[in-house]
Amino acid sequence: MSRLQKVEQKRAAEAWSCIQAVSEDIDSSKFKKEYRSIVMKLPTLILTNGLGQTLAFLKFKGKNDGSNPEEKVYGDLQGWLTKPNVVNWGRVTHKELIERIMAIDSTKYRFITIESLSFLNWLKKFADAVLPKDGGE
């Protein structure tokens, strides 16, 4: 098995774990629908506004409150990007993902943006398959 296949499998497994947590551990149908909606829009937001600005938006909307779907999505993305062997953060040791993003150079920023989009690709697929759709989508 190639290294690329292993990385894709790890992304898929982490994304599946995130979606299962929302699907099984959260009783609110509204939360599930909002989470799904955010996940479906997030790659476009990143491509339009940039990763840093999108993370800032999620933190603003999430208000450090785990009962907000934006905070859950931010946490899921942070969980993936801060796993060992996913991103070499070097000397950046800040806890918050957004602080790490602000402290890196442009080459690493582009790599992390691509890694984020790759992870979100799996998250979108699983969210679309498992979580309830909003009436407007």
What is the number of other CB atoms lying within 10 angstroms of the CB of residue 92? 14
Round to the nearest angstrom and report the end-to-end CA distance of the chain: 38
What is the rounded average pLDDT for all residues in the chain?
Answer: 91
What are the structural domains of the chain? 3-130 (1.10.520.30)
Span 52-72, average pLDDT: 94
CA–CA separation, 72 vs 19, rounded Å?
11
pLDDT band at 94; cut points 50, 70, 90: low
Span 72-90, average pLDDT: 91
pLDDT digits (tens, 9 = 90+) for 114-136: 999 999 999 999 999 999 987 54
CA–CA separation, 71 vs 93, rounded Å?
21
Tell me the whole-structure pTM to 2 decimals.
0.91
